[in-house]
Amino acid sequence: MDGTQPVEELHDLRMRVAELEAMREEWQQAKAGHYDAEERLRTFFAYAPEALVMLDAETGRFIEVNPKAEAIFGRPAEELTRVGPFDLSPEYQPDGRLSREAGQCVIQAALQGEAPVFEWWHTNAQGEQFPCEVRLVRMPWGQRNVLRGSITEISDRKQLRLFELGRAQVLESVARGAPLPDVLQTLARTIEDLLPGMMCSVLLLDAEGQCLLDGAGPSLPEFYRQAVHGLRIGPGVGSCGTSAHTGQRVIVADVLEHPYWADFRELARQAGFRACWSEPIVSLDSHVLGTFAMYFRQPRQPVRVELDIIEIGAQLAAVAIEHDRTKERLRAANESLERRVAERTKELAAANRELERSNDELRQFAYIASHDLQEPIRMVSCFGQLLRSRHSEQLDDEARQWLDFVIEGGHRMQELINDLLDYSRVDGQARPFQAVPLARVLEHVQANLRSSIRDTGAVITHDELPVVVADKPQLIQLLQNLVANAIKFHETGPPRVHLSATRADDCWQVSVRDQGIGIDPRYHERIFDFFKRLHGRDRFPGTGIGLAICRRVVERHGGRIWVESQPGQGSTFHFTLPMREAP
Name which position in 183, 445, 475, 517 contacts ligand ADP (CB under 6 A).
517
Q: By C-beta, is 153 or 422 nearer to ligand ADP?
A: 422
Instruction: Tell which positions 166-225 bind ligand ADP, by CB under 6 A.
Output: none
Q: Which residues pair with 375 in a beta bridge?
A: none
The letter for the amino acid at 142 is G
Q: By C-beta, is 214 or 514 nearer to ligand ADP?
A: 514
Q: Does 514 bind ligand ADP (CB under 6 A)?
A: yes
**Secondary structure (3-state) at 249:** coil
Name which position in 228, 445, 519, 553 contacts ligand ADP (CB under 6 A).
519
Kindly give, in sequence order, each residue whose CB lies less than 8 Å from that of residue 246, ignoring residues fewer than 6 positions away.
235, 280
Q: Does 534 bind ligand ADP (CB under 6 A)?
A: yes
How many residues touch ligand ADP (CB under 6 A)?
A: 21
CB 268 within 8 A of CB 171: no
Cα–Cα–Cα angle for 20, 23, 28, nearest 5°? 125
Question: CB of 571: closest distance to ligand ADP in angstroms?
Answer: 4
Residues 266-305, mask of contacts with ligand ADP (x by CB under 6 A): ----------------------------------------
Q: By C-beta, is 271 or 479 nearer to ligand ADP?
A: 479
Q: How many CA atoms lie within 13 A of 187 on its CB side?
A: 35
Q: Does 578 bind ligand ADP (CB under 6 A)?
A: no
Q: Does 527 bind ligand ADP (CB under 6 A)?
A: yes
Q: By C-beta, is 381 or 543 nearer to ligand ADP?
A: 543
- Minimal CB distance to ligand ADP: which residue? 542
Return the range that interacts with ligand ADP (CB under 6 A); candidates 107-115, 165-173, 465-473, 514-522: 514-522
Q: Does 153 bind ligand ADP (CB under 6 A)?
A: no
Q: Does 516 bind ligand ADP (CB under 6 A)?
A: yes
Kindly give, in sequence order, each residue whose CB lies less than 8 Å from that of residue 542, ignoring residues fewer than 6 positions away.
488, 533
Question: Long-range contacts made by residues 465-468, C-beta under 8 angstroms, separation at least 24?
Answer: 465/437, 465/438, 465/439, 465/499, 465/500, 465/501, 466/437, 466/438, 466/501, 466/503, 466/508, 467/435, 467/436, 467/437, 467/438, 467/582, 468/435, 468/436, 468/438, 468/508, 468/510, 468/577
The 3-state secondary structure of 146-200, one letter per residue: EEEEEEEECHHHHHHHHHHHHHHHHHHHHHCCCCHHHHHHHHHHHHHHHCCCCEE
Question: CB of 531: closest distance to ligand ADP in angstroms?
Answer: 8
Instruction: Tell which positions 484-513 bind ligand ADP, by CB under 6 A.
Output: 485-486, 489
Q: By C-beta, is 183 or 517 nearer to ligand ADP?
A: 517
Residue ranges in contact with ligand ADP by CB under 6 A? 481, 485-486, 489, 514, 516-517, 519, 527, 532-535, 542-548, 571
